[in-house]
A and B are shown apart, each in its own frame.
Chain A
Amino acid sequence: MGYDRDLSFVYFGPTKIVFGAGTSRDVDIEMAGLGCRKALVVTDPGVMKAGLVEGVREALGERCAGVWSDVPQDTGIGVVNSAAAFAREKGVDCVVSVGGGSVIDTGKGICILLMEGGGLENFEGIQLLTRPQTPHIVIPTTAGTGSEVTCMAVILDERKGQKMLIVEYFNAPRIAILDPKMTERLPPLLTASTGMDAMTHAVEALQSLSREPIADGLAMQAIRLLHRDLPVCTENGADLAARGQTQLAATMAGWAFGNAMVGLVHAMAHSIGAIARVPHGIANGILLPHVMAFNRDDAAEGYAMVAEALGVREKGMDEREAAEAAITAIRSFLERIGHPLRLSEVGVTDEDIAKSAALSLSDGAIVNNPRPVLDEEEVIAVYRAAF
């Protein structure tokens, strides 16, 4: 296996994992273990409606100082600032996020403001903080984003109409509680698309210019588990064992990409998400095999590992053949889990493609893509192939 002989990297993954059906009820014990007394529960209206917050609130009892449930699909500076003001009023010393990526990133933003004061607009940047931030417990309600274990948050700057990136080692969540019951009622399409977000994190970590052995190991296991259990979840959402394995896979993929970074799939998915409102997981899922085809010659080694994890690397196959087999396997996997296959199916127009291609070139994710992306035309061609 080829790592540079002078390989040098930092692996960062300080989050404690609590796993098992019903463990979201242990949130009070975990919180006490952090030495915290008053929590703000952060969530969104969908999660509230699904009744997932009630159990957490009950378990917290008096430790729950309030619930902030106004997180939109894409969180923004204004949302975080208002939620932090509410949290300050309540005198909280801990944040408990119950939800998907947008909720978790809101929680991360609140943690910074509770410790540092001010508005979130002052914290755009990388590794600016100099001390540990407010303790954050995350209870994911999807198996996909991996945000429960990363130190990154993506927050919309409403005034500029641009996403703002905050990367802070000091703000990684302290604890992630992976309770399969929290994902039990996720409908099949959402299960498939959030799962494909996790799959994309793992594949992009393996192809990354910053790949390293720890992230590679986590990504491989994430792919194995998703490959085995995601189809079970889309067929029978109530299978808690399979739900649990996909949650673990999403978390492992989170560690993998949180360290090795993502690539062109994410750059293109962020852009088509911003322009045509395609949900993140769906965009990733549709684009993944097409970007793999684009990267094939520059990422054969990583893709051969993907093939191995998917169980399609046959004896005697060289790396290129294995990479090809991986791409084919991802395509049929998408069909198997009932995931959309074309951008045109999800409302993308020709016009959206040109705008999104331009935006993709300025997305941070592109830096670690194994094949250098030189101009818009190349990105347009990939979008068209997926159209």
Chain B
Amino acid sequence: MAKYNAMTQEWLDAWKQKIATSKEYKEIAKNWEGSVSIIVNPDPEKGIPEPIYVFTDYWHGDVLDFLICDKAKAESARFVMSGDYTRWKQVAKKEVDSTKALMQGKLKLKGDLTYVVRNIKTVNKVIDLLCEIETIWPDEA
């Protein structure tokens, strides 16, 4: 299986492909409306010299844009999640639960938590699918 460098456009394309071809996702996410952006805070020691902005967009089981973007675009998303690289890596590897990480202040969320909770299966499925991608993390490369 191909390996992808984390938080690159190729990696996002692979992730999007995984989601777009998942029948299970289509069913679970049939009510989801709206975009989610991920902001990774810089951590030069881990190989992240600048913040990384990722924009992902979902609509009733379909996957729309999955882009590395700029700050303004990221902040335009319906849900904006931000956090340190190490935390994101833990979420992506399912070492920590995303809602728990939010409540404990390890990640930040701008937006309506109740909507996220109502659609928690969708969120978890998206993370599950990310786990299936072989990822090269910058601090492990």
Contact = CB atoms under 8 A, between A and B. Distances in A.
Contacts of B118: 361-362
A364 B105 contact: no
A206 B61 CA distance: 36
Interface residues of B, number: 18
Contacts of B99: 367
A127 interface: yes
Given A165-B114, A361-B118, A362-B117, A261 B109 contact: no
Contacts of A210: 100
A164 interface: yes
Contacts of A362: 114-115, 117-118
A300 B99 CA distance: 24
Nearest to A166: B113
A128 B110 contact: yes
A367 B109 contact: no
B120 interface: yes
Interface centre among A210, A261, A367 (most CB of B within 10 A): A367
Given A127-B109, A367-B120, A261 B103 contact: yes
Interface in B106-141: 107-115, 117-118, 120
A127 B107 contact: yes
Interface centre among B103, B109, B111, B113 (most CB of A within 10 A): B103
A210 B96 CA distance: 12
A125 B103 contact: no
Nearest to A261: B103
A165 B99 CA distance: 14
A10 B105 contact: yes
Interface of A: 9-10, 12, 124-128, 162-165, 167, 169, 210, 261, 361-364, 366-367
21 contacts: A124-B110, A124-B111, A124-B112, A125-B108, A125-B109, A125-B110, A125-B111, A125-B113, A126-B102, A126-B105, A126-B107, A127-B109, A165-B113, A167-B102, A169-B105, A210-B100, A363-B114, A366-B117, A367-B99, A367-B117, A367-B120
